Structure 1
Amino acid sequence: MPYTTTAQVVDRRPPLTHQTLQHRLDALARLHRVPGAQLAVHTGTDVLSVRTGTADAATGAPMTEDTAVPLGSLTKTYTAAAVALLADDGDLDLDDPAVEFLPELREFPEVTIRHLLGHTAGLPTGPDSDTAAGITASRYLATVCTAGDALFPPGTDFSYSNAGYVAAGRLVAAVTGMTWQEAVRALLLDPLGTTPCFLGETLPARPAASGHARNTASGRMLPAHQNLAPVEEPAGGLLASATDLLALGRALVGRSAVLPADAAADLRRPQPGATPAGLADAWGLGLALFRQDGLWWCGHDGNAQGTSCHLRAEPDSGVVVAFTGNSGGATALWQDLADDLTRITGLRVPTARTPVRRGPSVALPGCAGTYRNGRTEYRITLGADGTPALSVDGDRPIPLICYQDLSCDLVDPATGRPQPGGRFHRDRATGVIDRVQISGRTARRSDAR
């Protein structure tokens, strides 16, 4: 998947002024009922930064440029970059077997550090945060990383896994002799000029935003409790502002001395076997990859409890876009900003993977069955008319639309509209459907066929 050096200008309207963009962000925040949001853009030559609303609806504290927002899975990009710096220093090789540093992976001798960072190790997602609370990284990995739970041979497929980043964080600690927090601060945050802020701190060193959820009865926005287990910090424990993410994005596209150009390029390189279906067009190391108008963008999305954060960066132009919002509705706000971002950057900024024309839907009776990813059960049943529906851990079934290429869409229960869901996989020897990937997470068939 080579990069192209041709940047396509898709919007010739006059660029937005700072004032106009501020008014636009204010209006979208009201429309989507987002208490507070930040947007920072580097056009390759200039920086534009705006913010709106409150960091905490309960206290009324303002959302400032320095306010740190829970990043959720965007933390993984920082962890991957820290590992890349260790590799650049010669402390490890990304193609080393991970078991050399992590004895808990003894049943996965072929899994490399690269596999962990690219979600191609075949590890399950990992237990939920409540289950993981109070256990050590060693115990967590020993429980999750068993041969019986392997989803596929390493390097042959993709399954988004918090467990892989718990392993990466433990690896960072093993190599540096520091905690993950200390190491990511020394290797990355301090050099980037980012004041460290982590979930669970009683006295954070900077203003921090709360996530928010809407009370369906009263309509009020209430602070949402962040329940990430300490052991999961390398997968989702950081807080940062949009301007902090801008600094990270500049490093990821080789425009900062903090991350050597070769190391940044390796992070952006599409990984063999990484087919993330509905999440992105490809995957690097700690980075989702999006193809838009002949250009390859890198970035990541992150959702903590009641927050929505997004980073996109394009290597050739140096354009970087960073957004943070402190409610679930901020995802829709981010998507609505796409036209405005085009006017600012001169490039269409991807907010999701490229839509694929797949033809008419088809019946796929062979998909019915039970699939497992660790402790999570995916059950697909067929209705009287043959329409498949997906239920996760016994939740209400959601209709699926299947296509000839084995991809599928989920039907949004609220709107009835199809949303990118994932794909099925046939065993090459038998032709039987043996795996399903939903929202980037792969589950292996567990019922007899």
Structure 2
Amino acid sequence: MDTDQLARRLADLVRDHHVPGAQLAVHHPGDGLWTTSVGLAEDAAVPIGSITKTFTATVAMTLVSDGDLDLDTPLPDVDHPLTLRHLLSHTGGLPSDPDDIRTTSLRRHALEAGRTLVPLHSPGAGFSYSNIGYVLVGHLIEVATGMSWWEAVDAVLLRPLGLRPHFTVGPEEDRNVVAGHAVNAAQRRAVPVSQSLALVDAPAGALAASATDLVTFGRMLAGAPPHLVDGADLALMRTPVRHAEPFGMADGWGLGLALYERDGVAWVGHDGTADGTSCHLRINPADGTVVALTTNGSSGFALWRDLVPVLAEAGLPVGDYDGLGDLRDPIAPPEGCTGSFVNGDVEYSVQPTEREVLKLTVDGEPFADLSLFDGLVFEMRDSDTGDTSQTGRFLRDPRGGGIQWIQIGGRLARRQVPEMV
């Protein structure tokens, strides 16, 4: 592993993407831990966004191993036959987030959502990335432990790993976490932004950590001590779940972990974005390699994409998702692509243009231009940045054959049927 090259290239990428700071940590068999940082202290806690979900999932799986939770028992007080397995793998058919949050109580929010949210599909029949699903997991953890989610994460997971707790919201909020930044690449400006996560969404995104902290966590998920989750349950976390097809995000999904393949090697991990931050964790369970990147700029995701080939050149061929590699044969938009699709309270509207391109708006705001390819897969051209690194797809109803869903960023939205007048 060429660490000098990695340090130099990371500094170049930080400058090129106008990111104020980044941390990179690697644990490699035989080499031990190596870290480097640019613009940040190596132990600074960066909001890690949705990587928090993997921490929440690991607490839940620790409780499964201890017999305090069951993966396949239907959830109480929920109108759908949801299980913990569905929630951890995003196969419960739940929308991502409700817009109208009327409480600061995790329990009340979880129960209200479980009773009122309209499912996108029956539990276990497909994949749709869901924050509210992890709010329900957090509620189950609180019921099983008698502690708050914050207390349980600290006592069950962080303390045994030797990690200090850092939360961006809640009773244990740490006001010293690193600030995120909104990056304007054209003006070469980075403006500090505040974290806006709702209190009740904490189990889905409230943790902050350094890249070194993430490597410590990742090593445990690879099988290193402390053995908080039984070996069989740990293997389940890393095993692809049936019908979990996270198109646009990863190659597969386990229980709290995304799955990535590279050159026949299976990697697991998670990506996370908070307000003005982008963080990434990758683990090779076969040899124990762990790679973590934290950035405090909104352009950090693009930096990660550019860093992946640099890691490979340095001897770390990290698994990552590449939806663009599957695009084949451009096609004209077929009948049924246009219209409105909904995920909870979010509306995706697809409209034609004069060219063979579709215009996507989200809640009325321009989002992307869609260019279609064989298999109803599309390339997305971001309306603000012009970035074309993201992909999505339309899905047909297996019974009727018509286009029924759009999937973007792993989230499904179901076609909205116009009301009869």
TM-score, normalised on structure 1? 0.87
CA shift, 1:448, in A, is 4.4
Contact 1:51 1:64 in 2 (8 A): yes
Q: 1:28 aligns to what SS in structure 2? A: helix
Structure 1 position 182 matched with structure 2 position 167: no
Residue-by-residue CA offset, 1:323-355 (whole Å, 9 max, x unaligned): 1011112222222222332244x3411332462
Structure 1 position 48 matched with structure 2 position 34: yes
Determine the C-alpha separation between the residues in 1 that align with 2:22 and 2:386: 29
Q: 1:91 aligns to what SS in structure 2? A: coil
Residue-by-residue CA offset, 1:354-388 (whole Å, 9 max, x unaligned): 62143332422211111111111111112244532
Contact 1:73 1:235 in 2 (8 A): yes
Q: 1:196 aligns to what SS in structure 2? A: coil
Determine the C-alpha separation between the residues in 2 that align with 1:419 and 1:20: 25
Q: 2:283 aligns to what SS in structure 1? A: strand
Distance 1:179 1:369, change over 3 A: same
Structure 2 residue identity aligned to 1:123: L
CA shift, 1:268, in A, is 0.8
Determine the C-alpha separation between the residues in 1 that align with 2:373 and 2:187: 41
Structure 2 residue identity aligned to 1:172: I
Structure 1 position 254 matched with structure 2 position 223: yes
Structure 1 residue identity aligned to 2:75: A
Structure 1 position 302 matched with structure 2 position 279: no
Structure 1 residue identity aligned to 2:370: L
Structure 1 residue identity aligned to 2:104: I
Residue-by-residue CA offset, 1:197-248 (whole Å, 9 max, x unaligned): 1113798679521111236897542221101011111000001110110011
Residue-by-residue CA offset, 1:172-206 (whole Å, 9 max, x unaligned): 00100000011011111011111001113798679
Distance 1:419 1:340, change over 3 A: closer
Distance 1:86 1:201, change over 3 A: closer
Residue 342 of structure 2: aligned partner: 372
Determine the C-alpha separation between the residues in 2 that align with 1:133 and 1:219: 39
Contact 1:124 1:144 in 2 (8 A): no
Distance 1:349 1:217, change over 3 A: closer
Determine the C-alpha separation between the residues in 1 that align with 2:340 and 2:110: 25
Q: 2:59 aligns to what SS in structure 1? A: helix
Residue 409 of structure 1: aligned partner: 379
> Structure 1 stretch 161-170 or stretch 263-272: which is displaced more?
263-272
Residue 119 of structure 2: aligned partner: 150
Residue 98 of structure 2: aligned partner: 127
Cα RMSD (Å): 2.3
Distance 1:220 1:266, change over 3 A: same
Identity across matched positions, percent: 44
Structure 1 position 269 matched with structure 2 position 239: yes
CA shift, 1:417, in A, is 5.8
Determine the C-alpha separation between the residues in 2 that align with 1:375 and 1:201: 25
Contact 1:410 1:419 in 2 (8 A): yes
Residue-by-residue CA offset, 1:237-269 (whole Å, 9 max, x unaligned): 001110110011111121232333222211111
Determine the C-alpha separation between the residues in 1 that align with 2:358 and 2:176: 47
Distance 1:259 1:371, change over 3 A: same
Structure 1 position 82 matched with structure 2 position 90: no
Residue 30 of structure 1: aligned partner: 15
Distance 1:21 1:406, change over 3 A: closer
CA shift, 1:123, in A, is 0.7
TM-score, normalised on structure 2? 0.92
Contact 1:213 1:328 in 2 (8 A): yes
Residue-by-residue CA offset, 1:20-63 (whole Å, 9 max, x unaligned): 4333322222222111111000112221111111xxxxxxxxx2
Distance 1:309 1:371, change over 3 A: same
Residue 163 of structure 2: aligned partner: 194
Contact 1:126 1:144 in 2 (8 A): no
CA shift, 1:410, in A, is 1.3
Contact 1:195 1:205 in 2 (8 A): no
Q: 2:366 aligns to what SS in structure 1? A: coil
Distance 1:427 1:146, change over 3 A: farther
Gaps of 5+ in 1: 1-14, 54-62
Q: 2:326 aligns to what SS in structure 1? A: coil
Distance 1:333 1:218, change over 3 A: closer
Q: In the comparison of the two structures, how many residue pairs are matched?
A: 416
Q: Paired residue for 2:319, among 350, 357, 361?
A: 350
Determine the C-alpha separation between the residues in 1 that align with 2:171 and 2:142: 23
Residue 300 of structure 2: aligned partner: 330
Q: 1:303 aligns to what SS in structure 2? A: strand
Structure 2 residue identity aligned to 1:425: L
Contact 2:129 2:410 in 1 (8 A): yes
Distance 1:437 1:203, change over 3 A: closer
Contact 2:250 2:258 in 1 (8 A): yes
